[in-house]
Amino acid sequence: MATKVGILTAGSDSPGVNAAIRGFGKAAQGSFNMEVIGFRDGYEGLVEDHATDLSAEAALSGILTLGGTILGTSLNMPQAMPSPSGPANLTQQAVDTYHRHNLDALVVIGDKRAQNAAYLLSQQGLNIVTMPKAADNDIPGTDKAIGYDSAREIATQAIDRLHTTATATHRIMLVELIGNAAGWLTLGAGLAAGADVILIPEIPYEYDVVIQAILKRKQVGRKFSLVAVAERARSRELVEFMSFAARKKSQTAEEEEKELERIEGNYSAQTLLLARRLEEATGLDTRITILGSLVRGGTPTSADRLLATQLAEWSALMVSRGEFGRMACRKNGAMDSVLLQEIAGRSKPIPMDHGWIRGAYQVGVCLGVEQSSLGLPE
């Protein structure tokens, strides 16, 4: 009897997911004689049993270059599905669907939260293999996640276009990019597009340092600046205040972490506040462009299609070998896998000794703090 495998896409959307679905379906059916069914709309489809047959050749035809996902996706996870009385744990319904279809394995193409949900399902005895997708590249254990290269290219092009209008109008242009816990997208796109200031979550910025960097440019005749800022970048004074407030209301480290997360939710629109302070301090007209989900759409780059295809083929191989409870990944350019328990609930911040951080200072980019404060050589 052929191995029967289910596949779903969960969490935030990313370019290149269809390439992964196509790659897995073709490898699983063509090389390993597996039967493949899909579940529509992420984990919701698994919980509610919205299955669809992917065995027909037409199901995987013509989707390599398409953005989005033919299976649909959802941000809802089995452990916290919406219900009239609040979030409900419907893990058992997901497990029941898995067994109802007599699945031998379930492949999940998902973001950071979806990886954690996959790990919890594996704890229920399900044979799980996952692939990482994240436009902001915040999933640990892999060099790149599906969608990051495409998102970075879109963001770079956007900043490139704003460069011309910033130059012509003598303005400060702030470009806000997705990135709650990690600044890979903002730093990568900012460096590629020649941003003058790059602000990321890993480095709480100081207003005075940013202001002085822009004033210095103004003094030498550069009456414009490009500022790439991650949506969760925060000033040092705000971070210190929130940390103090969280500690004051908490008894344990776990309580402090949850309280800090709650407090952070009350301090959105920090990019708007930054824009106002920069305009007041520099006298330069300031504008904000929020790219948001724009970077998640459109045609995936060739690099993302290639990565997705590689991860998909490797995932099919993992299923055939019975290597479950793991995420397919690429490490140092080679295909590999990592235990889900090693990445579940974790993020992938940019290390301070990363070459991009050092390179930014080398080419004169302001990261919101003095270089010496990060322990980097001057």
Catalytic residue among 111, 136, 138, 304: 136
Q: Name the burial class of residue 312, with classes exposed (0-12), middle (13-18) and buried (19+) by CB atoms within 10 angstroms of its CB.
A: buried
Q: How many CB atoms lie within 10 A of CB 31?
A: 12
Task: Tell me if residue 201 falls in helix, strand or coil.
Answer: coil
Token code pair at residue 15:
């370019």
Q: Say whether 324 sits in a helix, a strand or coil.
A: coil
Coil, helix or strand for 180? coil
| Contact (Cβ atoms closer than 8 angstroms) between residue 312 and residue 131 | yes
| C-alpha closest to that of 352 among 361, 340, 343 | 361
- In the β-sheet with 128-132, what is the strand arrangement from edge to edge? 51-53, 35-39, 4-10, 105-110, 128-132, 326-331, 334-339
Residue among 249, 245, 12 at smallest CA distance from 115: 12
Cβ atoms of 133 and 109 closer than 8 Å: yes
Q: What are the backbone dihedrals phi and psi of residue 329, each rounded to the nearest 5 degrees, phi first?
A: -155, 170
Give the Cα separation of 241 and 247 in Å (integer).
10
- Is residue 118 within 8 A of residue 130, CB to CB? The reply is yes
Element at 8 (helix H, strand E): strand 4-10
Which residue, chain included where needed, has tokens 């994240």?
134
Q: What is the DSSP letter of 53?
A: E
Report d(CA 267, CA 331) in Å as an integer: 36
136 is catalytic: yes
Task: Look up residue 143 and give its DSSP letter.
Answer: S
Please state, in angstroms and rounded to a whole number, the distance separating the CA atoms of residues 215 and 136: 30
Tell me which residues are annotated as active site: 136
